[in-house]
Amino acid sequence: MKVKAWKKKFCLLACALLVSFVGAELAVRVYYGERDVGVDENELCLKQMKKNLPSDKSRNFVNFTRTGYWADDPYIGITLKKTYSRKLSIQAEKDVRYLMFLEDQHNSAGMNNIEEFSWKKPQNVSVRIALLGDSFTCGGQAPYLFGMANMLKELVAGSEVLNFCVGGRGIETMYMRYVLEARNYSPDVVFFNVFVDDLVRPFGCPLLTPNLTVVDGRLVHGPRQYPSLKDFYDGYQPPIVESYFLKHAAFVYNARTGYARDLYKGLEMFGVMLDDVKEKASADGTEFFVTLIQGPTPSPVSADVYQRLLSLLKQKDVRFLDGEAYLNKHRQLYRNQSFYYIREGNPLGHYSVIGYALHAQGMKNLLEDNGVISRTHDYYFVNFNPDDYMMLIPQDFSKTRTGTELMYPYIVQRAKSG
């Protein structure tokens, strides 16, 4: 009798659980409607991309090709599209127009530069600098001429600054562009500009990232699962049968824990990456530096990882700029200026044009402190509108009363007479 009673209770419990699961499954399916479900953002990325290809209604993709400023590389993943430019032509006076260069100015090699570069450094160039980084290095939300790269070029006399940035990507793309592209130009100096979130991005959607892993303490670059969008479209099939309830539960868990988990995984990968890049730079006779970038309102975990990055760089004996400390040191001097553009309701923001100028000056100071370039005076930067001029005032202006310069985010075009 006891066995029969136990079986009856078990059957009742199983039926109750099944009914609850079916009810939850139906409720979650109603909640999602026509939206995709996934265990994390990566699965959602794959499902959405499958729907968009080969061409989507918004024309972000046409025949498996991206139409914006990104391009797909079989080894790197997402990178900058070659020969791409965004400009504004503004009527100023009757016969005068201002040509404003926006942040995306890609040359034929896929660098974020207006100018083209030869493989070998020209004789009239004092120092060739390669920058690797994300949208901060690209000069996000600022005119091209006021971005980090061009400001560094202005501050370091006779320099070339080759900008291998890729907006939205992290340390994985920095490393791949350095190994596969930047080294070919034999730079004198290489900067990795690392925003804290760049540590998370190696573990993002596989359609955007290279296949970069750590094996036995070494970085290993393997073939990407989908070298092209056509390969992905032909080879990927979303699951036919799936539980919306279980995947939603997994998504909520990953959304709450994944960022911190991937930050610390990225920190471990970056430690291995530093050893690798130091070794390659030393073999090439290149000076290697890292600059750190922190957002305007970091979370506790971001603040913790930033401090760990500082400790890691000291441990690895890598020369670096503590970007957060450098900006904080200047806050009183710039008490009525913002170092970031922060959109309402969004805790993240890129540097303001003042922030970019200061960060570039910190990079210049780092080169000076390490004997790479001769020391020159620092500037105080004044700007009231990112679409208008910036004033560069030497910090010793009160003594010399000379040396003030003006920079403009546009070039002036005058109509030809006759």
Are 402 and 375 in contact by the 8 Å Cβ rule? The answer is no
The answer to whether residue 281 scores a pLDDT higher than 80 is yes
Closest CA to 392 of 161, 154, 157: 154
Question: How far apart are the C-alpha atoms of 111 and 83, rounded to whole Å?
Answer: 9
Region 361-365 average pLDDT: 98
Q: Which residues touch 245 (CB under 8 Å, ≥6 apart)? A: 21, 24, 25, 27, 28
Q: Residue 201 has which token pair? A: 């991005």
Q: Where are the alpha helices (DSSP H) in 100-185?
A: 135-138, 148-155, 171-180
Lowest mean pLDDT among 90-99, 216-225, 279-288: 90-99
Of 221, 266, 207, residue with least CA distance to 77 = 207
Look at 7 and 43; give whichever has higher pLDDT: 43
- Mean pLDDT, the chain, rounded, equals 91
Highest mean pLDDT among 54-68, 72-86, 238-252: 72-86
Among 25-34, 135-144, 198-207, 281-290, the minimum mean pLDDT is found in 25-34
pLDDT higher than 50, residue 345: no
Domain positions in the chain = 1-35, 69-244+264-373+410-414
* Cβ atoms of residues 110 and 71 within 8 Å: yes
186 contacts 395 by C-beta, under 8 angstroms: no
Q: Which two tokens stand for residue 358?
A: 């200061």
86-100, 248-262, 330-344, 402-416: the lowest-pLDDT one:
330-344
pLDDT digits (tens, 9 = 90+) for 39-60: 999 999 999 999 999 999 888 9
Residue 2: what pLDDT?
Answer: 55
Q: What is the CA radius of gyration of the chain?
A: 26
Residue % of the chain over a pLDDT of 70: 93
Largest CA distance in the chain: 110
Q: Token pair of 184, please?
A: 């070919």
Assess contact for 150 and 143: CB atoms under 8 A: no
Q: Strand, helix or coil at 122?
A: coil
C-beta neighbour count of 80 within 10 angstroms:
26
Beta-bridge partners for 290: 192, 320
Confidence band for 336, pLDDT divided at 50, 70 and 90: low
pLDDT exceeds 50 at position 344 = no
What pLDDT, on a 0 to 100 scale, did the predictor assign at position 105? 96
Find the helix packing angle between 244-284 and 300-315, rounded to 10°: 30
**What confidence score (pLDDT) does residue 19 get?**
75
Q: Once rounded to an integer, what is the mean pLDDT over residues 190-206?
A: 98
CA distances from 203 to 160, 199, 284, 354 (A): 33, 9, 29, 32
Residue 145 CA to residue 353 CA, distance in Å, equals 10
Going by C-alpha positions, the residue among 104, 109, 100 that lies closest to residue 130 is: 109
Question: What DSSP designation does 203 have?
Answer: G
Q: Confirm if 387 and 372 have CB atoms less than 8 A apart.
A: no
Which are the contacts of 242, defined by CB distance < 8 A and separation ≥ 6? 37
Q: What is the mean pLDDT of residues 206-220?
A: 95
Tokens of 389: 């001029």
Q: Which residue has the higher pLDDT, 90 or 279?
A: 279
The answer to whether 140 touches 350, Cβ cutoff 8 Å, is yes
Mean pLDDT of the 213-241 span: 94
Given a cut of 60, whether residue 416 has pLDDT beyond it is yes
Tens of pLDDT, residue by residue over 143-160, are 999 999 999 999 999 999
CB 318 within 8 A of CB 190: no
Q: Structurally, what CATH architecture does the domain formed by 69-244+264-373+410-414 represent? A: 3-Layer(aba) Sandwich (3.40)
pLDDT digits (tens, 9 = 90+) for 237-274: 999 999 988 988 988 999 999 999 999 999 999 999 99
Q: Per-residue pLDDT for 418 more than 60?
A: no
Specify the pairing of strand 96-106 against strand 84-93. antiparallel
**Amino acid letter for position 356:** Y
Structure token digits, residue 84: 């791409």
Q: Read off the pLDDT band of 414 (50, 70, 90).
A: confident
Q: Is the pLDDT of residue 35 over 80?
A: yes
